[in-house]
Each structure stands twice: as C-alpha cells, then as structure tokens.
Structure 1
C-alpha cells in the first residue's frame, strides 16, 4: 500500500481554479490490489482538478494499454484503453449519502486519495469478453489454437449423431 501514496493529491495548498496532474499506472499499481482483473498495464492517468470553495471537480483521462488474454484463442495481447470520467468531491463534515458522482471530504483532510478511483475506472473499462481482433474476426488470433478448437468442435457434432443412446431417449414420450 506504500506505493499507492503516490496517487494522492494535497489540495490544501492549491489556489482556486484548475490544476493538472499526471500519474503513470503500471504493473506495480495493480499488484497492490488483491484479485485484480488487470495484472500488467502501461497507462497514463491525467487528472484535472477544478478547485472551488466548497468542492473539487476531478476529470480523469486514462489512456494506454493493458495486457489481457483473448477469450477466443487464450493468447496474451495488449488492448488499448481510453477512459474519461468525472468525480465531484464536496467538502463536508456531515455524512453525505455517497453515490457514484459525489464523495465527501472532511474539512480537516488535506489530500485526496485517487488510487481507488483510478483502479475502479480501469477495471470497469475492461470488456467482459476481450478478443485479439475484436468482433468475429479471427485474423489476429493464434492460428494453431483456432484450428484445434475448430477440429474439436466439429468432432463432437459427429459423435453426438452417431450415439444410439440418444435415439432411444427420443422415443420416450
């Protein structure tokens, strides 16, 4: 958790207005989180903070690539990621019903921790089914693996048609 301290911004010394920060999000960042979907990445997170008297408006722009396995051929490939999110942080000592868009910052706090937000935004951007080529195209997939899968799937259909036990079950009504 020590390396996650690099992803905090002290806002008490900032003047009102917009400020820009940039963070490199690499493999060591994701190693700090147990059971992370992403293990290897080469990302840049640009954060623009608009400091106002009662709140901070944070604009996140995360771009780069993550290493993931293809759902079709299981080969590792670098998938491009582009995330744009906005978060509002309101200064308040009272408990705010926190939702996805507004978080509360105590008036005695002097910095905002962004590691959790960055981690969440990246993991939500990872598609449920990631493929090398995208869509139904298999041109970039591992040819050998695709051929093996095709052979196995065509062999199973022939076995199902030749099995007489299924014919006997079809007659039961």
Structure 2
C-alpha cells in the first residue's frame, strides 16, 4: 500500500470545492497493523470546501470490516456507516484543538488522513462485537454454557460474633484498642 495515497496537499488546493474517493481494503488494514480487523472494504468520500485559510472537510464512510465475534470467536462482518466533519487550518505546529478542529503546519501544508480514517471507523463500531442472538457458533456456545454453569458460586461465610456482638475477625483489633 502506498501511504502517500491518503495525504492531501492542502497548499496546492485552489479555493472552492474538491472531492476525493478511496476504497479502504484489506491491504489498508494490514498495513496499519489493525489486529482487530481481518478484512474490510470501506468506501470513503471526502468533500473539501476551501475558502481563505480554512478547509472544511466532510468524510463519509460506507462498507464493512471483518473481525471476530467476542462471544464465539467466529468471523464476523460489521457494517460501517458514519460521517465526520473536520475543519483544518494552518498554524505553526501540528495541534488537535478539538475533535473537529485540526491545526497543521503551514510550511508542510499536507494533511495525512490515514489514521483519521482508521479512528473514525473504529469509533463507529460497537464496543461488543458479536453476532446477532442465535447466530453464534453452536459448538462454541455449548462449550461456553457448560463452563459457565460449572463455575463455583461464592459461598456466604457465617459471621461469628463475640459477646459484644462484634465480628470475631476484628477481635485482634479490639484487643489492640484495649491495650
């Protein structure tokens, strides 16, 4: 994968509207070392509106990523559909002012969207990545339910109290207090 593919030279953009379109495939996720994803195909549309020294970007994502189910560990495809707005301005150094405002060095003038797109995809996915109820690997679910049922339940320990009604486990502290 050519990493410069997702870099946008903002200094060379004329004022007005611009569009970029990419397909993030398996090679993109593998290049980033994205261990969470085994595959993917996400279409990304980037719309840039440039006026003065301000670049308003709208990023739209549509596709899927392949991962593993947190419950049964079988392969799972998750839909990706999200949008993000980002404003980019020139400044002295690279700074993220907020999740919507990014400052990049004017001397460089290049915006690298490689990690931004990856983060947007990750944040669009649910925390628990699981098949719909009843769609998990039946063998794995049977094995899991057997192990889950065999787990020992914590037993309530009977509390023994002394003549003052104090828990005997604290008797040593009571003795220290009296001394």
Answer yes or no: same fold by TM over 0.5. yes
**Do the aligned residues in 2 keep the contact of 1:69 with 1:75 (CA within 8 Å)?**
yes
Q: CA deviation at 1:99?
A: 2.4
Find the residue that maps to 2:92 and give its secondary structure: coil
1:90 is matched with: 89
Alignment of 1:91-106 (within 5 A): 91-93=90-92, 98-106=97-105
Give the Cα separation in 2 of the matches to 1:122 and 1:54: 28
Structure 1: segments with no counterpart, 5+ residues: none
Give the Cα separation in 1 of the matches to 2:47 and 2:28: 20
Count residues in correspondence.
Answer: 160
TM-score, normalised relative to structure 1: 0.79
Structure 2: segments with no counterpart, 5+ residues: 161-179
Alignment of 1:100-119 (within 5 A): 100-119=99-118
Find the residue that maps to 1:59 and give its secondary structure: strand
TM-score, normalised relative to structure 2: 0.77
1:141 is matched with: 136
Residue in structure 1 matching 2:150, options 149, 155, 159: 155
Q: CA deviation at 1:35?
A: 5.7
Select the structure of larger CA radius of gyration.
Answer: 2
Find the residue that maps to 2:122 and give its secondary structure: helix
